[in-house]
Structure 1
Amino acid sequence: MSIHAFKMQLKPGVLDEYRKRHDEIWPELSALLTESGIYDYSIFLDEQTLSLFAVLRVRADSNRDALPDHPVMKRWWDSMAPLMEVEPDNRPKEWALPLIFHHA
């Protein structure tokens, strides 16, 4: 098992739509994340900066690295691109957050 944390950035004025899309997450995307070994995924919001902070837990035998090539993932990124800062392929820009402290 591993834990990954990263930051993403929303564009101004799109929070309600971002929240709505995640509240209505596609069943095929949810299944894909689970099949890829992601078993716990949370996104937090800093309302002052519109920064998103994601934390996900991944099984040791995951195939998470294959997600960027999957058609469902690409379609999700395309749909979310108007709401976020993205790379040229519409993948959300991510800034890795190193683990400083963990209490179990």
Structure 2
Amino acid sequence: MQRFAFKMKLKPGFVAEYQRRHQVIWPELVQLLKAAGVSDYSIFLDEETLTLFAVQKQAGQSSQDLGTNLIVQKWWAYMADIMDTNPDNSPVSVPLREVFWLE
């Protein structure tokens, strides 16, 4: 099991909408993530900078490989109006290097 962390950026004025959309995350997306080995997935918000910090555990294929899946692409399109995105609607995501872990 590997742990991955990354950051994304939320557009101003969309904190409540981001939370609302994740409270009703699509069951087929959850199923896809779990089938790909993603677990213990959390997203935190730095309200001062609107930076989203995500951390997840992965077993099996990398979640980056999921970008070709139609469900993931639909989710990206659904979220594109409230986040910084790349031309393909994927969120601008910056991997973070682990510098400390207390197990």
Gaps of 5+ in 1: none
1:96 Cα offset (Å): 1.1
AA aligned to 1:96 is P
Q: How does 1:74-89 map to 2 (within 5 A)?
A: 74-89=73-88
The two structures have a TM-score, normalised by structure 2, of 0.96
Q: How does 1:19-30 map to 2 (within 5 A)?
A: 19-30=19-30
Residues in 2 aligned to 1:75 and 1:15: alpha-carbon distance in whole angstroms: 20
Q: CA offsets, 1:4-31, max 9 Å, x none? A: 1011000000111100000000000000
1:64 Cα offset (Å): 2.9
Residues in 2 aligned to 1:9 and 1:63: alpha-carbon distance in whole angstroms: 21
Q: Which residue of 1 aligns with 2:39?
A: 39
Residues in 1 aligned to 2:4 and 2:92: alpha-carbon distance in whole angstroms: 15
Aligned residues with identical type, % of pairs = 46
| Structure 1 stretches of 4+ moved >3 Å | none
- Aligned-residue Cα RMSD (Å) equals 0.9
Aligned pair count reads: 103
Gaps of 5+ in 2: none
1:62 Cα offset (Å): 2.7
Q: Which residue of 1 aligns with 2:9?
A: 9
